[in-house]
Amino acid sequence: MKEIEAEVKAYERWIEYIRELTKMPKKIEIPIPWDELRENPSLAFEFFQKLYSKAGELSAKHLRTQEEIQKFLENICKKGYGKRRCTGYVGIYVSYLVNEVYSGRKIELNLKRLPRLHFLGMYNTRKIWVLKGNVGNCVGCYMRGGKITVIGNANSYVGYHMENGEIVIVGDADWYLGMLMRGGKIKVRGDAGSRVGINMEDGVIEVEGIVKGDAGTSMRGGKIIAEDIRGWVGKGMTGGAIIIRRRKLVFTY
């Protein structure tokens, strides 16, 4: 109970900051569906769509340019409106801003002095993201098009359930790279953690370095290319191909 109360208080402080920044009327009441948000990240995205739509045209005027979005990120993380807000749902909110409000085709964000933000590029359709610095979990999840380049390292679940587009990690990626991937391409120029391509159906995952664990578990299609794989290769796979360059091995089903 205390944990939930702490989250609600952090959420309320965060909402006050959003109101301050966007001049959102205080009479707007926003429900807090925490259980649903924890269980389903896509619901969290829809939740912030509703939050933003309730702010109206006045909000759009305040967070429409790259500079305004960058300033928003720096301010909200600096003020410390709850660690979860700065790393998780703020990333979802910014993804919505870039997808639906930002008028440019390409956006560059400097994340070097910020905590690792999760869900950046969620549901990206056509925008080109350049993220300078390390990112958190789920970058490019549910992505449908466009391109995301991370000039740094990434946490787990890069490209989770992505359908199309391209993600480039100029560094290392953690576990569950390309899990449930349905299309598109992920390229990691460094190493990757274990569980690469679990249950992937289509698309290409290329790791220029080493996969430090399993790859291709239960994959049904697509292609995984890596310099080497240290764990199980293709356990339970029913389709697709896995190529290990160093050992000149090709696994197909």
What whole-number distance in Å separates Cα of residue 193 and Cα of residue 199? 16
Structural domain total, the chain: 2
Do residues 96 and 149 both lie within one domain? no
Do residues 154 and 250 both lie within one domain? yes
pLDDT tens per residue, the chain (253 residues)? Answer: 344 455 455 555 655 655 555 454 444 444 445 455 555 555 555 555 555 454 434 345 567 789 988 987 887 777 554 455 556 667 877 887 888 778 899 999 999 988 899 889 988 999 999 999 999 989 999 899 999 999 999 999 999 999 999 999 999 999 999 999 999 999 999 999 999 999 999 999 999 999 999 999 999 999 999 999 999 999 999 999 999 999 888 888 7
Q: What are 204's strand-pairing partners?
A: 185, 223
**Which pairs with CB-CB distance under 8 Å and at least 24 residues apart come from 16-21?**
17/75, 17/76, 17/79, 17/81, 18/51, 18/55, 21/62, 21/63, 21/72, 21/75, 21/76
- Estimate to the nearest angstrom the gap between the alpha carbon of 228 and the chain centroid: 26
Pull the structure tokens for residue 227. 């310099």
Q: What is the CATH number of the domain that holds 161?
A: 2.160.20.60
Do residues 1 and 86 both lie within one domain? yes
Asked if 244 and 211 count as a contact pair (C-beta separation under 8 A), the reply is no
pTM equals: 0.79
- Last residue of one domain, picked from the residues 78, 104, 130: 104
Do residues 94 and 130 both lie within one domain? no
What whole-number distance in Å separates Cα of residue 220 and Cα of residue 211? 19
Which residues constitute the domain of residue 244? 106-253
User: Amino acid letter at 78?
Assistant: K
